[in-house]
Amino acid sequence: VVEKERGGNPLPLLLGVMGDPIIQSKSPAMHMAALEAAGIEGSYVPLHVKEERLQQAVQGIRALGFRGVNVTVPHKVEIIKYLDEIDEGARAIGAVNTILNDGGVLKGYNTDGIGYIRSLKEEAAPDLTGKRVLVLGSGGAARGIVYALLQEAPARVIVANRTAEKARDLAREWSHLGHLQGCGMEEAGNLLPEVDILINTTSVGMYPHPGHMPLDAAGLPSGIVVSDLIYNPLRTELLIQAERKGCTVHNGIGMFVYQGSYAFEYWTGMPAPVEAMRAAVLSSLA
Ligand code: ATR
């Protein structure tokens, strides 16, 4: 994968992440650790890209010879129109978080959903087949997760949203992919006794507003898996209360690490040094 100059000199691998704001991103720390652990000479830099400069920034990937770029808020949807090829999953989700520059052809992928599912399976719920899953939220994060989740043959997936219509729209859009249902948050509370896994994809409880709950924990059955995409704080109020109820809890660190590890594998063709990446994220949060 090493780019070569005319004359054959290998160049360091160039990688980065585009967003606005970008300074808070933990991706540079995580991927620099990955490059070092894998013994690859290269750099992964934060790229502050304003919305009105997005098209130019994409052209810059080719012009500057970046091998790969992650895409974060607010560009994941808009960037699609500037890329040459879009992976089927990313197309369905409607968002790209990873770009591979394959000899000047820019290919867009979405590794958020598959990264999340890998983390959930490895850390909390090894088999999702036949499970009843309740997903809170129906924004960009929920779309990635629900899409990846439906590939795992769950018995049913219920998407609940503050704006119930958005959840119902999503359920209609993907009704051909599995047993999917949409509802409002109040109905979600009533459905809790019939659920095996609860996943919060909303930002409720995230820094700088810890202590908030996306739904009333009173009805949480003990023994279910409760998962929160948030990793700052590592233990959200939802996870704290779920743990008190005897649930298995799962936070968003693994999702962040695995979305990055899939991107790393697209760019380098090598297995990602996942534990070095996880350690780098954890120490950058501390
Ligand atoms: P993301 O990419 O993180 O999913 P998003 O696409 O803006 O971001 O979606 C945010 C999700 O969190 C939505 O489902 C949103 O609900 P609405 O569609 O009703 O806005 C949900 N959300 C955000 N703040 C919330 C709050 N205070 N209470 C409940 N849901 C909230």
In a domain, 5, yes or no: no
| The predicted structure's pLDDT at residue 23 | 96
Residues 90 and 38 in one domain: yes
Residues 195 and 89 in one domain: no
Q: Is 168 in the pocket of ligand 1 (CB under 6 A)?
A: no
CATH number, position 235: 3.40.50.720
The residues of the chain scoring below 70 in pLDDT are 1-3, 6
Residues 234 and 119 in one domain: yes
Residues 240 and 125 in one domain: yes
Look at strands 105-109 and 85-86 and give their pairing: parallel
Q: Is 184 in the pocket of ligand 1 (CB under 6 A)?
A: no
Residues with a known catalytic role: 76
Residues 131 and 92 in one domain: no
CA-CA distance, 105 to 44, in Å (whole number)?
20
Q: How far is the CA of 198 from the centre of ligand 1 (A)?
A: 16
| The predicted structure's pLDDT at residue 10 | 81
Neighbour tally for 228: CB within 10 Å: 28
- Mutational test site, ligand 1, from 77, 161, 232, max ligand atoms within 8 Å of CB: 161
Instruction: Name beta bridge partners: 226.
Output: 198, 249
Residue nearest to atom 12 of ligand 1 (CA): 202
